[in-house]
Amino acid sequence: MRELDELDGALAGLDGRSSGRDLWAALGAAGLIEAVYVDGDPRRGVIAERLGAVLAAADARCSIPATLVASVQLATGVPVLAAGDGPAAKALDRVVSGDESVALAATDGQGGSDLAGMATELTIGTSEVELRGSKRWIAGATSADHLLVLGRHSRQRHFTSFTWVLVPARAAGVHVRPAGSSLFAASDVGHVDLDGAVVPRDHVVGPVGRGLPMFVRHINTERLAGALWGTALCARSLDATRRRLAERPYGDGTLWDLDSVRQRFATSYVRARQLAALTDALAGAVVHDHDSAAAATLKAAAGETVNEVLATCAQLHGADGFAADGLQELRAQGALFAIGGGAAEVVLSIVADAAERLVGDLRRRPLAATGPAREGSRRDGS
């Protein structure tokens, strides 16, 4: 994988005003979408280090709304698309090259966090599928070529009642409108109404009834992506804040000379470092074992850490934090880390459900290899 400055070069034409669609096209043109997957094959899963490097490079240049579009497609949209044949397989090539984009429409007009309560209905016939319902707050929806819609083909509230369908965004009966969010305008975020839209039967993606297990598997990767990206976001915000504090005059020195400011900054650094360490520790369990509790732990930690670190950075920017594209706007956008892809409370419930195993693992965890002590340093830190 190319180094971060080389990755940055691939995104050289982008800046904070670029849209998620612009970012996706640049990533595809540079071969960075394919590069995220094992052997370039989205069906084989992501390489966590590469996913983290691409998201960090995107975060360094682009806004949170733009990077969100790339994160959702890399972690979830492309892998779900790759589970299909026929039209999905054809669309996959164009999406991976960055020429086209896919929006992942799971969150329902009815149901929200309660996915199994969704009302979007699929009538699956022998030659066609009809879709009725609505999807809300879908990243990339207003500029996407394809929508991956999760709907219910059975009224039963059961794990096997849901199926993915690939829907051309401009098909008859599909109405996409902007969600009207100024904070997330660069995400092209929109609401989708499906008013009797009809697609050929071969647009079903993956086996009928496997929609929810497929979603769970890939949302785990999206939660890992959130932790990888959240770490990069905290690091760049802390860097900008430290530089500002060191330059901002106060008394005979600068704000950085105030011990209470330094301690507050250091507390945020420790929180970000904890997120980084947790991500390093659990990435393998998410990628290789598809461990939902590990993914939920990362998601809960990322939401809390991003909220806390960005709030401190914004506060320490004073009035400048309210400038256009300032830290206060970043902080407001960063609140998404505790909502998008599963609200903080929902992922904490997943952690609690696995409490016995997780606490047992915590008690038995081996000490990670520490490597040789550096010359001149002593184990007691003196």
- Closer residue to ligand FAD (CB): 38 or 116: 116
Residues in the chain: 382
Smallest gap from Cβ 19 to ligand FAD, in A, equals 13
Which x/- pattern over 40-69 shows residues binding ligand FAD (rule: CB under 6 A)?
Answer: ------------------------------
- Closer residue to ligand FAD (CB): 108 or 291: 108
- Closer residue to ligand FAD (CB): 162 or 265: 162
- Closer residue to ligand FAD (CB): 47 or 185: 185
Smallest gap from Cβ 338 to ligand FAD, in A, equals 8
Examine residue 214 and tell whether it contacts ligand FAD (CB under 6 A). Answer: no
Q: Which of 66, 82, 106, 205 binds ligand FAD (CB under 6 A)?
A: 106
> How many residues make contact with ligand FAD (CB under 6 A)?
22
Examine residue 341 and tell whether it contacts ligand FAD (CB under 6 A). Answer: yes
- Closer residue to ligand FAD (CB): 67 or 268: 67
Q: Which of 26, 46, 48, 72 binds ligand FAD (CB under 6 A)?
A: 72
Examine residue 112 and tell whether it contacts ligand FAD (CB under 6 A). Answer: yes
Which residues form the interface with ligand FAD (CB under 6 A)? 72, 104-107, 112-113, 137-139, 184, 187, 189, 336, 339-343, 345-346, 349
